[in-house]
Amino acid sequence: MEHEMEKRDKIAAKDRASGGFTKKKTLGCILNMEMIQDKTGEEIAELWTKYYSTKDTVSAVIPSQIYRLIFSRSQSCQTFLYALPQKEGYEFFLGQWSGHELHFTSLINVQTMGENAPSQLILYHYPDLEEEKGVVLMMAEMDPKFITVHQAQCLANQVQLFYGTQRQETYRLVETFNHHPTDFKHMLVIAELEQSGLGPVSSGGS
């Protein structure tokens, strides 16, 4: 099974080398779907996590009920401003949903290049096994010239913090950014991060 995934990964790496990010990568390009039919969600999660633990990227296994909440919210709130802790202060990234993909680019890029600003990180969510196995698989591709694995992990964690939260005050920041942008205060994002432990205090490890 892992050998099969390694072989497919070489193909994906060739795709990336031929020009940026992989276009519309399906779960079947990564996993042998027939071989996982008799596996439980927990076994698939373990396989996914083990496979990506050796890669210079981030991945996650999201319980179906949490992803359903995140995805339903992404329909009405497609963008959000994320704060990435740096050595001095924060760098802001704009995250924009496109179906089950979440594209990140730095706010500086957006301000200078507008709609032509390239994605520096893409989170791919695969809901293929959501109903049957109770899990949604996620993997990321990033531009290593602009973003590290640790930074990508921090941004991925924030998606669950802001879109998957049960705390209305936290999700209200996302709603405000999308529907009442003049009332949005970026310092509240930083405050939420620091309160959650994702801020600079914990930026030494993931």
C-alpha 38/C-alpha 12 separation (Å) is 26
pLDDT per residue of the chain (206 residues) written in tens, 0 to 9: 545 455 444 434 433 333 356 666 788 888 888 888 899 999 999 999 999 988 999 999 999 999 999 999 999 999 999 999 988 899 999 999 999 999 999 999 999 998 889 999 999 999 999 999 999 999 999 999 999 999 999 999 999 999 999 999 999 999 999 999 999 999 999 999 999 887 764 433 33
Question: Is the distance from CB of 159 to CB of 95 less than 8 angstroms?
Answer: yes
**DSSP code of residue 21:** S
* 176 is a domain residue: yes
* 64 is a domain residue: yes
Is 0.95 surpassed by the pTM of this model?
Answer: no
* 1 is a domain residue: no
Total count of domains within the chain: 1
* 115 is a domain residue: yes
* 102 is a domain residue: yes
C-alpha 26/C-alpha 39 separation (Å) is 19
The token duo for 117 is 């600003």
* 11 is a domain residue: no
Return all residues near 110 (Cβ < 8 A) that are at least 6 apart. 94, 117
Q: Find the domain containing 142 and state its range.
A: 56-202
* 109 is a domain residue: yes
